[in-house]
């Protein structure tokens, strides 16, 4: 993924917090600024996931390049489908399943997720948290789709 696309995505998300048409506010006669005026739109799910992931990446001491790598991995792994599931047949005959945005593999990561009290199967936020754990503990090699 091109870093410019990531920067643009983050800027769009940040601008959406204040509303593009209202980058500067001036008091208008008889206008009540104590209640929401409706010019701040809600973030899309993808924008929320992106900002959450960015916060998790940096709070765990990872770098910008790790954040952009994870965004690209999510694009390839699940195409941002929070309900994505992929069943795998391994060489030794065992079957495992990848879950969620980050396609976390249950065979390799269930024990670690349990230790951290994370439910990456059913909770999108825990799936993103686990994505950062995987990146921090195993690095880029854990993301098979990125090797292609």
- Asked whether residue 49 is assigned to any structural domain, the reply reads yes
Closest Cα to residue 3, out of 60, 64, 48? 64
Is residue 3's pLDDT more than 90?
A: no
Is residue 20's pLDDT more than 50?
A: no
- Asked whether residue 34 is assigned to any structural domain, the reply reads no
In the 8-state DSSP scheme, what is residue 139? G
Write the pLDDT tens digit of every residue in 129-142.
Answer: 999 999 999 988 88
Distance, CA of 56 to CA of 130 (rounded, Å) = 10
Write the pLDDT tens digit of every residue in 86-141.
Answer: 888 877 776 889 999 999 999 899 999 999 999 999 999 999 999 999 999 998 88
In the 8-state DSSP scheme, what is residue 22? G
Tell me what the pLDDT averaged over the chain comes to: 82
**pTM of the prediction?**
0.71
Q: Give DSSP secondary structure letters for 51-88.
A: HHHHHHHHHTT--HHHHHHHHHHHHHHTTT-TT-EEEE
Distance, CA of 128 to CA of 42 (rounded, Å) = 20
Cβ atoms < 10 Å from Cβ of 111? 9
- Asked whether residue 17 is assigned to any structural domain, the reply reads no
Q: Which residue has the higher pLDDT, 27 or 62?
A: 62
- Asked whether residue 48 is assigned to any structural domain, the reply reads yes
- Asked whether residue 50 is assigned to any structural domain, the reply reads yes
Domain count, the chain: 1
- Asked whether residue 3 is assigned to any structural domain, the reply reads no
pLDDT above 90 as % of the chain: 54
- State mean pLDDT over 10-15: 62
- Asked whether residue 39 is assigned to any structural domain, the reply reads no
Residue 105 maps to which CATH number? 1.10.530.10
Question: Residue 36's pLDDT band (boundaries 50, 70, 90)?
Answer: low
- Asked whether residue 20 is assigned to any structural domain, the reply reads no
Q: Which residue has the higher pLDDT, 36 or 72?
A: 72
Question: For position 23, what pLDDT does the model report?
Answer: 44
What residue numbers bound the domain in which 70 lies?
44-147
């Amino acid at each position: 993924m091109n870093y410019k696309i990531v920067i643009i995505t983050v800027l769009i998300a940040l601008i959406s917090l204040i509303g593009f048409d209202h980058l500067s506010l001036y008091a208008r006669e008889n206008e009540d600024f104590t209640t929401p005026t409706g010019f701040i739109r809600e973030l899309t799910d993808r924008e929320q996931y992106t900002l959450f992931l960015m916060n998790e990446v940096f709070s765990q001491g990872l770098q910008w390049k790790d954040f952009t790598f994870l965004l690209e991995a999510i694009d390839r792994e699940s195409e941002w489908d929070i309900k994505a599931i992929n069943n795998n047949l391994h060489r030794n005959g065992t079957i495992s399943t990848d879950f969620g945005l980050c396609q976390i593999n249950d065979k390799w990561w269930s024990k670690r997720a349990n230790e951290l009290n994370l439910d990456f199967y059913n909770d999108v936020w825990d799936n993103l948290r686990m994505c950062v754990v995987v990146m921090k503990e195993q690095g880029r090699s854990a993301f098979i789709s990125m090797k292609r």
